[in-house]
Amino acid sequence: MDGRRFLVTGGAGYVGSHLVLTLVERGAEVVVMDDLRQGHRGAVPPGVELVQDSIADRRRLAEVFAAWKFDAVFHFAALSLVGESMRDPLRYCSENLSNSLAVADAAVKAGCLRFVLSSTAALFGNPKVVPIPEEAELAPTNAYGDSKLMVEKALGWADQVHGLRSACLRYFNAAGADPQGRIGEDHEPETHLVPLAIGAALGTRPPLTVFGTDYPTPDGTCIRDYVHVLDLADAHIRVLDRLEQASVRYNIGNGTGYSVKQVIEAVERISGRPVPHGFGPRRAGDPAMLVASSARLRQETGWAPRFAALDDIVRTAWDWHSRHPKGYDDRG
Ligand SMILES: NC(=O)c1ccc[n+]([C@@H]2O[C@H](COP(=O)([O-])OP(=O)(O)OC[C@H]3O[C@@H](n4cnc5c(N)ncnc54)[C@H](O)[C@@H]3O)[C@@H](O)[C@H]2O)c1
Ligand SMILES: O=c1ccn([C@@H]2O[C@H](COP(=O)(O)OP(=O)(O)O[C@H]3O[C@H](CO)[C@@H](O)[C@H](O)[C@H]3O)[C@@H](O)[C@H]2O)c(=O)[nH]1
């Protein structure tokens, strides 16, 4: 990647920072634009320029695109919580759509015609076919998923009219951390299952509540496909070559589903500690089961996960959280 330069919006956040680290390790130059509402300065490697402003600021975006000539944009910055989106759907729809369009518009105006979107499994709602291929019906059960679907659709028009080639990467559940322990997952509030279960085991967080035990799954709890953040990062880099031919859409997961109870058991195995937990009602907007078919990504890009096993994913997360029980230093 030597000599190539990329803009990463949301690059101080959880998934974005793992891509930034990977890009830098492979010799690319990276500029991060992140207002740090969730991200951390400590997640951005030394030598990477951090523009600490909101992507909602179109003037600032234009300045950033004018100051550097980018080979592509990786767009992570978004509101991304299923539960929150069902309490504030209008904010999710408006902010995720308008901010993404602001980034895409600035890219088009600057002549940067390669765009990689952090999309989501939440596009598929309750799928009829599992594992879920790209052609599956798009029917989100929550406002967050629908906001990303709107962005995907708008990017289709931007390709047709402006030649903006986009890769919409539908991640399933991102989990894990850099195995060297340099960066990890640190949100406030934290809502994701793996860090909450680990926090409960460490005693740094309250006991976990399992949301719903009456889903149509073998043990009654929701099933998700957990994919390691570094495997996601690798997919981002691989799709760049595909973009030279056409816009693409890929589902990214390991193809294996684990229930909430199985994730709790994995954390107990890896940590050697119990995960204190109780049971509560379903969380609004949660589909019962999301498992990816990543066959197209594998065939077309040669992608293969390095951390396909749940225990391997959980181990990297456990290592980071047990060494950083308070998260990044900026948490005090
Ligand atoms: N974590 C997952 O399991 C998962 C799964 C599917 C898709 N995604 C998508 O991946 C992306 C990253 O998710 P994440 O889990 O790393 O979230 P995150 O909250 O850790 O990262 C998002 C980053 O964007 C920044 N940001 C948000 N709004 C901004 C704005 N207006 N201007 C500038 N910066 C802003 C935040 O400060 C944060 O650092 C999101 O688009 C999300 O929808 C995540
Ligand atoms: O305290 C908790 C937190 C979560 N869960 C359950 O654990 C599963 C995973 O939840 P979570 O870690 O919050 O992830 P999701 O809601 O599945 O959403 C993630 O994965 C989606 C793709 O599947 C992405 O689009 C989202 O951005 C990302 O937050 C779900 O069944 C939740 O109901 C609990 O039971 N208790």
CATH 3.40.50.720 fits 5-175+225-251, yes or no: yes
The residue whose CA has the least distance to atom 21 of ligand 1 is: 13
CA of 86 to the centre of ligand 2 (A): 13
**Ligand nearest to the CA of residue 258, numbered in listed order:** 2
More confident residue, 58 or 330: 58
For the chain, give every domain's residue range: 5-175+225-251, 193-224+256-323
Helix 310-323 vs helix 260-271: angle between axes, to the nearest 10 degrees? 60
* Per-residue model confidence (pLDDT) at position 332: 43
For the Cβ of 124 lying below 6 angstroms from any atom of ligand 1, the answer is no
User: Could you report the per-residue pLDDT of 145-197, keeping only the tens digit for each?
Assistant: 999 999 999 999 999 999 999 999 999 999 999 999 999 999 999 999 999 99
* Per-residue model confidence (pLDDT) at position 89: 98
Handedness of CA 9, 12, 14, 17 (dihedral sign): positive
- Look up the ipTM and state it: 0.98
User: Could you report the per-residue pLDDT of 253-269, keeping only the tens digit for each?
Assistant: 999 999 999 999 999 99
pLDDT of 293 above 90:
yes
Q: Where are the beta strands (DSSP E) in the chain?
A: 5-9, 29-33, 49-51, 72-75, 114-120, 165-171, 173-175, 208-211, 223-224, 226-228, 248-252, 258-259, 277-280, 289-290
Greatest Cα pair distance, the chain, in angstroms, is: 56
Q: What is the pTM of this model?
A: 0.98
Which residues does the annotation mark as catalytic?
Answer: 144
| pLDDT band per the 50, 70, 90 thresholds, residue 2 | confident
For the Cβ of 328 lying below 6 angstroms from any atom of ligand 1, the answer is no
Give me the torsion for CA of 165, 233, 242, 255, rounded to 10°.
-110
Mean pLDDT of 72-83: 97
Chain mean pLDDT for the chain: 97
User: Could you report the per-residue pLDDT of 100-140, keeping only the tens digit for each?
Assistant: 999 999 999 999 999 999 999 999 999 999 999 999 999 99
For the Cβ of 196 lying below 6 angstroms from any atom of ligand 2, the answer is yes
For the Cβ of 191 lying below 6 angstroms from any atom of ligand 2, the answer is yes
**Ligand nearest to the CA of residue 222, numbered in listed order:** 2
Output the six-digit token pair for 298. 């594998």
Mean pLDDT of 294-310: 98
Strand, helix or coil for residue 314: helix
CA of 15 to the centre of ligand 2 (A): 15
Number of other residues whose CB lies within 10 A of the CB of residue 233: 23
Q: What is the distance between the alpha carbons of residues 20 and 12, in angstroms, rounded to a whole number?
A: 8
Which CATH number is associated with domain 193-224+256-323?
A: 3.90.25.10
The residue whose CA has the least distance to atom 3 of ligand 2 is: 193
Quick one: which atom of ligand 2 is closest to the CA of 221? Answer: 31
Distances (CA, A) of 11 to 16, 31, 48, 64, 159: 4, 8, 10, 15, 24
CA of 299 to the centre of ligand 1 (A): 28
Q: What is the distance between the alpha carbons of residues 312 and 193, in angstroms, rounded to a whole number?
A: 16
Interstrand relation of 223-224 and 258-259 (parallel, antiparallel or unpaired):
antiparallel
**Ligand nearest to the CA of residue 142, numbered in listed order:** 2
Mean pLDDT of 311-327: 97
User: Could you report the per-residue pLDDT of 267-276, keeping only the tens digit for each?
Assistant: 999 999 999 9
User: Could you report the per-residue pLDDT of 229-242, keeping only the tens digit for each?
Assistant: 999 999 999 999 99
